Amino acid sequence: MVEFDIHRGKIVDLQGIVELENNCFEDPYSENQISEDLASDNNLVLVAYDGELLIGYIDYKIVLDEAELLRIAVLKQYRGLGLGSKMIAESYNYLVGVKEIFLEVASNNKSAIQLYKKNSFDFVSVRTHYYKNGADAIVMKKEGIS
């Protein structure tokens, strides 16, 4: 695995995350949403850099001992290098006291589903027609973080 700098996201990372969101998602988070998550004590945002370039990020919402993995994204040209897994592994150092992580993923998002399976997330259920485009969501969870 190539070494990249992964650390907690701050407001200086806002523009990089906005660009990443716009590159990676059909329904990107707004600048406002991202800046709220960066500022919130109830979110954990980690960012990954290659030099000055923001190449990945992960965003969790934390409620008591549960976390929801809201977003994970890696710039296209950096995919398949293990960065997604590295950000997930790194996040466990920050998710102290969290016992379970939940997430929803579109049933046709094969690379994300593979990423989660590889990182020991288990299938929980399907939410049919969950997304605006009619796609189903798969709910997954991981137990035993701490």
Ligand X SMILES: CC(C)(COP(=O)(O)OP(=O)(O)OC[C@H]1O[C@@H](n2cnc3c(N)ncnc32)[C@H](O)[C@@H]1OP(=O)(O)O)[C@@H](O)C(=O)NCCC(=O)NCCS
Single out the residue of 97, 118, 123, 126 in contact with ligand X (rule: CB under 6 A).
118
Q: How far is the CB of 12 from ligand X (least distance, A)?
A: 22
Query: Which of residues 43 and 97 has its CB atom nearest to ligand X in the complex?
Result: 43
| Count of residues that interact with ligand X, criterion CB under 6 A | 20
Structure tokens at 24: 């990676």
| Whole-number Å distance between alpha carbons of 133 and 120 | 28
Contact between 4 and 57 under an 8 Å Cβ cutoff? The reply is no
Query: Which of residues 35 and 85 has its CB atom nearest to ligand X in the complex?
Result: 85
- Scan residues 80-99 and list those touching ligand X (CB under 6 A): 80-85
Contact between 19 and 25 under an 8 Å Cβ cutoff? The reply is no
Q: How far is the CB of 32 from ligand X (least distance, A)?
A: 18
Strand-pair category, 100-106 with 5-8: unpaired
